[in-house]
Amino acid sequence: MHRMFGKKWVLLIVFVLIGALMFATACSPADQPDDPEEVEEPEETVEVEEPEEVLFASEPPASGYNDGTYRGTYGDRGDQQVSVQFTLTDGVMSNMGYRHLYYGATDFRQIDEDDPMYGIKEQHEQIADYLEGKTLDDLEDLYEPENFVDDVDTFSGATIRANKVYSAIQDALNRGVYSPSEPVYKGLPDEYDDGVYRGLFEDGGFQQLGVQFALEDGIIHDVSFRQLFYAETDFTRIQEEDFMYPVKVQHDQMAEHLEGSPVEDIFDLFNPQEFVEDIDTFSGATIRGNKMFSAMKDALNRGVYSPTDGVTTDIGPYPDGRYRGVFSDGGDQQVGIQFHLEDGNFTDLSFRRLDYANIDFMDIDEDEDMYPVLLQHQQVLEYLEGQPLEAAFDLYEPGEFVEDIDTYTGATLRANKVLSAIRDGLNRGIY
């Protein structure tokens, strides 16, 4: 018993010595600070590089377009099919790429090489490669892609829809520079009709920002958002306790800044840090004011949506050919139209998309309550057939030529959406 007791003491002493040695090693001055409060190092902070202030030029650029990055889209039958980004420098294109490429339920940016449709992606890449270093005058080459796009497997270079890429590029140019690389010239028309305007910024397959505002004698009023959607967040419905709520507040500050300002002050949106506050971790300098600028330019390009007085009917001339345009609102592509111009007159008009309140009027049955709305839209196209371009402005008063059907009056038909789609088609040029 004494031997066992002695062994236990020996073992105890050994463990104590080992523990003391480990403690001394762990707490050596070379590895541990004297002050225990300094043991925890502060987390390294990552500084976000704020964008440089955008300056403005007093003279227009020789090319007619500001230098920098441009973004535009082409949509059809309810989908955003092509979204492009490119750089312009002295009127020369570079860094052409696709931010969205989607046809027939296929996302060509995510497609694998072993997919039977992969050849179409390769052909679109050839289009982008061809445009590298080209001038804007060379965009006309996209109407004959067989001259520079190879046949890939069963996909002919002659049948690739390069005109969709053309339309997206033209949309980008119409909106103006997205991210300037040089001082920006504030080029806008001298006058706009009084009334309400609506425009949209789309990117990456989504309608991100829809804006509405009024103009009175060239002064902006009543700016509001009909769509505000980023990173799978609908900011028009966001709650105050949401982490991302400050982004909504900052967009509201941009709208408030423009209230009572002349229309050319939309260029202030390139420098939001001057009037948008930092909120929590969201910097006023990094808010994407250029998306709002793009949407407002789109609205101005389409012309007045709901006039308060008379409208300017000067339009054209436009070359003969086939045109396509869309009107989108509240996250949905509502009207898609195709028409031809022949000697300045409308011909062969048709809808490629007609969708309101989640009702597809292109696929509606005659016995449905809303069927008269389709008939009234068809009357709009019938009225325009053979008419000169100026007749498009008659769509502000559809009650003059659209019949009342059941409880649906011709006067309340939203024919201005059709007009907006027509103006969009004209702005994009021949399809």
Mean pLDDT over the full length of the chain: 89
3-state helix/strand/coil string of 50-89: CCCCCCEECCCCCCCCCCEEEEEEEEECCEEEEEEEEEEE
Residues 342 and 385 placed together within one structural domain of the fold:
yes
> Residue 251 pLDDT more than 80?
yes
Encoded amino acid at 259, one letter: E
Cβ atoms of 87 and 68 within 8 Å: the answer is yes
Contact 192, 218 (CB under 8 A): yes
In a domain, 263, yes or no: yes
CB of 294 closer than 8 Å to CB of 314:
no
Tell me: do 105 and 146 sit in the same domain: yes
Task: Tell whether 114 and 85 lie within a shared domain.
Answer: yes
Pair (214, 143) in one structural domain: no
Could you tell me the pLDDT band of residue 50, with boundaries at 50, 70 and 90? low
Per-residue model confidence as pLDDT tens digits over 331-358: 999 999 999 999 999 999 999 999 998 8
pLDDT of residue 153: 76
Domain limits for position 125: 56-180
312 found inside a domain? no
Is 176 found in the same domain as 197? no
281 & 329 share domain: no
Residue 36 lies in a domain: no
pLDDT class for 281, splitting at 50, 70, 90?
confident
Q: Indicate whether 106 belongs to any domain.
A: yes
Kindly report the CATH number assigned to the domain that includes residue 109. Answer: 3.90.1010
Q: Are residues 303 and 220 in the same domain?
A: yes
Q: Residue 132: CA atoms inside 13 Å, Cβ hemisphere, count?
A: 7
In a domain, 4, yes or no: no
Q: Which residues contact 84 (CB under 8 A, 6 or more apart)?
A: 71, 72, 73, 96, 97, 98, 99, 165, 168, 169, 172
61 and 172 share a domain? yes
Q: Which residues have CB under 8 Å from 18's CB, separation 6+?
A: none
Q: Does residue 79 sit in the same domain as residue 163? A: yes
Q: Tell me if 280 is assigned to some domain.
A: yes
Among 143, 163, 180, the domain-final residue is 180
Q: How far is Cα 76 from Cα 201, in angstroms, rounded to an integer? A: 16
Q: Is residue 172 part of a domain?
A: yes
**133, 153, 180 — which closes off a domain?**
180
Query: How many separate domains does the chain show?
Result: 3
Judge if 339 and 389 occupy the same domain: yes
Q: Are residues 199 and 172 in the same domain?
A: no
Lowest mean pLDDT among 22-31, 320-329, 378-387, 391-400: 22-31
Distance in angstroms (rounded) separating the CA atoms of residues 277 and 253: 8
Of 276, 307, 338, the position where a domain reaches its end is: 307
- Decide if 144 is inside a domain: yes
Calpha distance 104→96 (Å, rounded) = 23
Does 193 lie in the same domain as 172?
no
Instruction: Give the DSSP H or E segment for 290.
Output: helix 289-302
